[in-house]
Amino acid sequence: AGGGPLLPDSVLYEIFLYLDHVDVLSVGLVCQQWHAVARDEFLWKELFYRYYRISREVPRHPAAVSWYDEFQRLYDTIPCVEVQALKEHNDQVLHLSFSHSGCLFASCSKDCTVKIWSNELDISLQHSSNMRPYNWSYTQFSQFNSDDSLLLVSGVFVGPHNSSSGEIAVISMENFTLLSRVRNKPYDVFGCWLNETNLISGNLHRIGRITSCSVLWLNNAFQGIESENVNVVKRLFKIQNLNASTIRTVMVADCSRYDSPDLLLDYEEQLAASSTSTCPVFDLGSDSEEEEAKPKQTPEPAVQELPDEGGVTAEDGLQQFFDDIMEGRVRPAMTETELETKVAELFVRSRTKPPELNLLSTDSNSKTKYLIFTTGCLTYSPHQIGIKRILPHQMTTAGPVLGEERRSDEFFDSLDHVIDIHGHIIGMGLSPDHRYLYVNSRAWPRDCVISDPMQPPPIAEEIDLHVFDLKTMKEVKRALRAHRAYTPNEECFFIFLDVSRDFVASGAEDRHGYIWDRHYNICLAKLQHDNVVNSVAFSPVEQELLLTASDDTTIKVWRSPRAVRIQQARKPRPRKLLFSWLMNQKS
């Protein structure tokens, strides 16, 4: 009706069941009755909840005009039709990333190349860079800068004695030349852009057997051609790691759009937004009068700190602990690992710069960014998300190389917020407006106890896709499920996800990519591959186009049924043979 998409048989069957038309044999009668109810909102609302098995407490999408349009949207605009398979890589494809304009995308692979593709009606390879001459083992991640003039490529670097670390390369999109290379340790820090010309990398310094220090550096992309009188690197943060944990998977969230997101996921907030145009800005660690006047809410995850017993300073506590050891008052006897952890905890309390307060306001919010990364405190597998604010004066390499001057009691930087996932984090992605953080994780057993940081708990095969609101630092909605992973904890690898305005997609080890609707929290499509799906990527300008990358060495291109119909309509139809013969006779 009305030239809309053809609905699947299962949907039509549901319609006939609802209308009690199962016993109608006359096609003409069915068509008449169908036209009579085709725009019946009550019908489509009932059908929508029944067909997608959604709770009736869930309201209609805030941008939807009618339930009929919503049904049409969820059926017709999901990128679930395979239209092309790209086979230029000859090994596992690990990561995909689009340029902000959507005109290009990059792919990384175990074949140690990064390939640049032109996103036209038929996608074609534009350039391929081989990183083996630079002693890389493989490429693993890429990201375009904000104006698409530069491409950050992260890979695994093979150093002396076959030691593996990471390295970041910056490639110019003008002529595909290599501009600079930056060491990156560990390699799964990946790296990311902070702004058009500065990128973030990591370094790791061992302090003990299970204690280390992660340093995050700000690097100028043009290191090889800048003047020797201009700083090309500056230390951002220095953070202590306990129990064999390290900082990995860094990304930057821009706070400028938190008050005007593309889609509000909290249903109550959706209703409030319809009556007011502004929302209060969440201030991490704020203790202002306005904050105290707000009603108390459930305590949110926070930075874990040791309790301050009896007003004893951390330095006195460390000395007391050593005295207790020397005089045999520590019972029961500690293992070497427990002793190192205890000393490191006491040391970090006395040598960590406290978080600064009252830094966010409605005036400065547009200039504030969050550095987000995976970390931990119990074991080496990443099970926490750390969040650290980056202030405007920190967004340039100008100034001292080692950053701001530090006092002896401010050796380390503290985190502004920590979110505990209670499971192994295997993927993270931001919504296009940077308001929401999506996290792939494999859960630990509910009541597990970690006694040895080198032996993390077993992890579930089911992947949980959590959603966190970065304005409130709270989890919103229930975790999405459908996808699975099978590798054990010690071999677990990253599975990249991506978020568009209305959808979220993820890879999985079960040979499928998955697409969910962000508003209704339902799985909409499974996308078939022949092996593990490592990465997915929506076009930033056309969410009806999705790419998936797999261990089967292919990149698959998926478009929505609507986009496929439009594409086919634009193709010139071949002339019939008789018409061609007549035209030839006339000539």
* pLDDT tens by residue, 95-104: 999 999 999 9
Q: How many CB atoms lie within 10 A of CB 12?
A: 14
Cβ atoms of 124 and 118 closer than 8 Å: yes
Lowest mean pLDDT among 12-26, 300-314, 556-570: 300-314
393 has pLDDT over 90: no
> HSE of 429 in the Cβ direction (CA atoms, 13 Å)?
26
Domain 81-260+367-569 -> CATH class: mainly beta
- Structure tokens that stand for 245 in this block: 């944990």
- What one-character DSSP code corresponds to residue 335? P
141 has pLDDT over 90: yes
Reported confidence tier of residue 315, pLDDT bands at 50, 70, 90: low
- Domains of the chain: which residue ranges? 9-77, 81-260+367-569
pLDDT tens readout for residues 520-557? 999 999 999 999 999 999 999 999 999 999 999 999 99
Give the whole-angstrom CA distance, residue 307 versus residue 317.
Answer: 11
Give the whole-angstrom CA distance, residue 174 versus residue 537.
Answer: 23
Cβ atoms of 85 and 117 closer than 8 Å: no
Predicted local confidence at residue 121, as pLDDT: 87
221 has pLDDT over 90: yes
Lowest mean pLDDT among 44-48, 198-202, 461-465: 44-48
- Over range 324-343, report the average pLDDT: 63
Predicted local confidence at residue 302, as pLDDT: 38
- Over range 78-105, report the average pLDDT: 98
Residues in the chain: 587
Lowest mean pLDDT among 2-11, 228-237, 522-531: 2-11
Lowest mean pLDDT among 21-25, 277-281, 444-448: 277-281
Largest pairwise CA distance in the chain: 112
Lowest mean pLDDT among 22-31, 384-393, 397-406, 502-511: 22-31
CA nearest 111: which of 556, 507, 557, 551?
551
Q: Which residues contact 469 (CB under 8 A, 6 or more apart)?
A: 265, 266, 435, 436, 475, 476
295 has pLDDT over 60: no
Q: How are beta strands 352-353 and 412-413 bridged, if at all?
A: parallel
Q: How far is CA 549 from the centre of its chain?
A: 16
Amino acid at position 361, single letter: S
CA nearest 358: which of 422, 281, 449?
281
Specify the pTM. 0.82
What burial letters (b/e) apply to 144-155, b meaning 16+ CB within 10 Å? bbeebebbbbbb
Give the whole-angstrom CA distance, residue 88 versus residue 280.
Answer: 49
Predicted local confidence at residue 75, as pLDDT: 86
Of residues 216 and 210, more confidently modeled = 216
- Over range 178-188, report the average pLDDT: 94
- Structure tokens that stand for 71 in this block: 């049904």
Cβ atoms of 550 and 530 closer than 8 Å: yes
CA nearest 145: which of 172, 123, 167?
172
CATH architecture of 9-77: Up-down Bundle (1.20)
Q: What is the mean pLDDT of the chain?
A: 81
Same fold for the pair 9-77 and 81-260+367-569: no
Q: How are beta strands 150-158 and 542-550 bridged, if at all?
A: unpaired
Cβ atoms of 334 and 369 closer than 8 Å: no
